[in-house]
Structure 1
Amino acid sequence: MTLWESDTDTTKSERPGGRIVVVVIVLLALLAGGGYAAAYGLAGDKVPRGTSISGVDVGGLSRDAAIAKLEKAFGTRAKEPIEVTVAQSASADAKESVEPGEIGLDIDYAASVDAAGAGASWNPRRQWDYFTGGKDVDAVVHIDEARLDAKLTALSEGLGKPPKDGQVLFTADGVKTTQPEAGEEVDRDDAWTAIVDAYLGDEKSVVLEVAAAQPDIDSADVEEAVDSFANPAMAHAVTLVFGENEIRLAPRKFAAVLSMKPENGKLVPAVDQAALTELVKDATADGKPVDATVKLVKGKPKVVPAKPGVSFDPAQVATVFQGLLTAPEDARSGKVDAEVVDADFTTKDAKALKIVEKVSEFSTYYPHADYRNVNIGRAAELVDGTILKPGEEFSLNGIVGERTAENGFTDGYIISNGILKKDLGGGVSQMATTTFNAMFFAGLKDIQHKPHSFYIDRYPVGREATVAWPTVDLRFENDTPYGILIRAWVVPSNYSRQGKVTVQMWSTKVWDIDSKTSARYGYVSPATRTLTTPDCEAHTGWSGFQVDVTRIFRKHKESAVDHTEKFHTVYTPSDTVVCKKPGPPPAGADPGDD
């Protein structure tokens, strides 16, 4: 450290050896002459003669004067930043300017002067120290250890080699571990002294040395964590009991909620309460029960079990769960306080539906138009997954709802008063026709269907249906003793291929259905209309006619006809429309899109 020079000259008579002799003689003379009081008065609260504090000469000064001199000497410098360099730093810029205030670094001037021996006292030792003093003492420096530690940690990060704790990880495949690795960090033992020296010195710079940094969690800690918790936790399933309902959680399921976190040099178990809560909710229902249902899984019907409605305290669930993790296999079941509400439609009820096979399937095709992809696709999405219990009625309007933008539909073409016009939901009747035919060949009871007003040649003649919100609906009843699962999906069209919509009915097959279509009869020629409305669409008409379709019922796997059902359809002519200012029909606007 560079010492500050004294403000007074040092003469030969003041050299340490000579000075001590003179002081001793004077002190003895005073004492011999009864002058101890005089010695006390001479020393007062002054700093011992010849004393310096971190290079600043304060010897012989009163306490207040010494404090003032230190403040003057260090006042400005004590606020200047320190240039800190970390040896071997991997950072592109190995230097960092550290403000003293960042690490709570400052000088306690009063404490420094007091530590140097200032202060009045009748103690003979005090008198002796005053007259025979002359030491150089360090200033009293305060530093915020927490802030310094944070700064040293940040500087250590620049080395690019932090120590790595050993870890215990939980996966669906079991317990995994990562071994600890030593790293490098700023030498913390050396850093405090080096920074304080630089703070009090002239150059205001310091190079901090690098030391090996050992991880907090070593190999022994990892091994202990695996043996004491991780392996036992993942050895067997855990069962949580909610009233009369049990939830069995397999290790591969609950692995994601487990972790081991470093704490005081050890790995301690932790349970992610939020993740565990979601896991339990997946097996139950939060508050409200969920009915059982049937879905297709890999092309086969599968009962999705009912979920009881369970209201529980997540913290208690986590406590019970964690307490079971190290228990033996026959003791890994625990009760949880909960309010349980059973589902109305149980897993047993769903199995009783006997939805086991495909009983019908029908597909229709449509020419490309973006609005058809949107509207038919949205209708299929809403119908898909519908389950009809025995005696229940299907309503397409009831399931699909009003065709609005908010419900996912867009403008398309519909038939209104015998001509085409734009409206929301145009194209949904393609879904109605496809569903009607799937119902037809499943042998279900027709309640309400309305053919299109004029014939559209992409649909089966006499075996099709239109819908319009809210009056014109497609309705049929599941009049079998089994449940019906309806599947529906769309393969969208593009400029090079037609779109395709498919509807399937899954149940237990009751009927084998055939269809017989008569010849067309009762033809009626189209009229011609001339329109001047702005939304007029030019259109070439065709004749109307009548046709009969007979549905033939045979009991499944029997050859004899059980009964038949006749559908009589009258198609009106599709009138030719002439616009006063004719223009080409818009792209994709062919007849029959209601």
Structure 2
Amino acid sequence: MRFGRKGESSVSPTASPPDGGHEPDTAVLDRLSATGKATGSAGATGVADSVEVPGAADAGSGMLAHDRLFPALFALGLLVLMALLYIGAYFFTDDRIPRSVSVAGVDIGGMRPAAAEEELRKELRPRARGPIVATYDGERFEINSKKAGLSLDVAETVDQAGGERSLNPLRMLSVLIGGNAVDPVVEVDEDRLTTEVEKVAERVDRKPVEGSISFAGTDARAEFPRPGRAVEVEETMERLREVYLTSEPVFELPVGETAPEVGKDAVRQALREFAEPAMSGPVTVRARGEKAVLSPVQLAPALSMRVVDGALEPRLDEAELHKHAGAELRSLTKRPKDAKVVLRDGRPRVVAGRVGTTIAPGKVAGAVLPALTETGKDRVVRLDVRTAKPAFTTKDARELGINKVVSDFTTYYPHSEYRNVNLGRATELIDGTVLKPGDTFSLNDTVGERTAENGFTVGYVIQNGALVEDFGGGVSQVATTLYNASFFAGLKDIEHNPHSLYFNRYPEGRESTVAWPWLDLRFQNDTPYGVLIRSWIEPSTSYSEGEMHAEIWSTKYWDIEAGKSERYNFRSSSVRFDPSPSCVEQTGFRGFDVDIYRYFHRNGERVETEKWHVSYNPAPTVHCRPRPEKNANGGDGGQGGQGGGGDTGGDGDRRG
């Protein structure tokens, strides 16, 4: 298609321009053909819509593709380069710890984990095992870190320091450029740490001194409060964690002040409003017509003011008040009197009990305390009394069934004044003792220690097989007589101790010694009836023996029969020489064994049998002079007695 003026024919694309003429306006067409087409102007007639130029389309497409490919290739190359650098960095950094990293002052930068762990163990082990010192007010308190449950977790510390292979580029970068100091990872047993801190606190803590008011004589004295101190446990535990593994594990112990519950102003107020009025005069107590006046001097030892639940409270100790004003307070009441059974005119009689009056515990203090702040007539209080019945009534006494002698026993003793004194005093203390069903009699408890103050004198007792002087000699005769009376009454034997030597004035094998406080005579009333013990002596004279009597009064419960074996297992005596001033001459005799039986009968039938084995030591012959030199025949001038038993004149209060 040709583009020309109107009416002219088209020109062939291959036609040459006329000489000297100008090239047709095909340049426009060439430029348009670069796009493959051209659009004509509106209204332009005789010009084709588009013109195609051979090869123009392929050349344009190549340029466009080149322009687009270059940026993509550049980006790809850059990515590959970065990947290579990343991979190289990964393999280069490996699992090394970043440069310049340290733990508690120990440099582990650039090390592999295993080497770092070894370095930490080597350098920090002495610190980990060493004590931590807390200081306070010039004192040092060492805390064992192991006991406190503190330990270094080496592996976790190395991990925290970066000692592991990682794909994180920041971690790789830190390896290359270096890291910072890392805190050690400390494992803590909280319970053990708390325990060790509390041990230190026990030594440091001081409770606050609370205010108080004390009373003495007619004065009241104030004690003003003072603050205390207490270790801050949680803060101390935190400080221990912080200084653990440091080069200088020392820290100042955090201690706080603890305030008292009541301040000084409250103490001054209590002194002014209670304490001073309380000591201003006596308090009068009235009860059913009786009167007791309690002076400040009597009140003061029982009175105090102490902090209770955050306030000063007055307290009147009733037990202490009774110690200092007992006579006055007892005058307000009458004690009940128990019924009892006594022997009168040879017969048991019931002495009726008597009711009394009493004041309920705590009532005196409860009434007196409010009156202490009053004045004049308002310092008078009135108390109610109530009836107090006797613990053992007349009915109880009658129901004991004490009506006749169910057993009695008598022993005899040669004349000596110490026996009259000691036996007489012991029987006086025992006489009239009543045992209710289930009660146990104890001679030592009833008679007490044999001393001059208790009415006893010096007599002969057995010590290490020989007679010596001591207080209470002869009391064993009381024990033997009373033991036999209880034996034939059928009372339960709890404790009796035969003499170590046999005395022929006692029943063979059926006797007992006593010694304060370790050897006793004890028997129990295991019958359903009461028991009354009667005991007395008929003193000896220079021309007559003394008699020791014991009776058991009750309702008969058993028929008792005694039995005894023959003597056996005889043992020879020895000879002893004693030049000391305290020596007592003694004729020796053989030792032997014997068995004793008690048979219980009821309604003619034997229902029980008891047996005791008794062993008597041989008694040495004692000469109160030095041992003679041996004669030519080898003798020593003395011969031990071999009799079957004897009475040396003493009866012992101790076993040898």
User: Which structure: larger Rg?
Assistant: 2
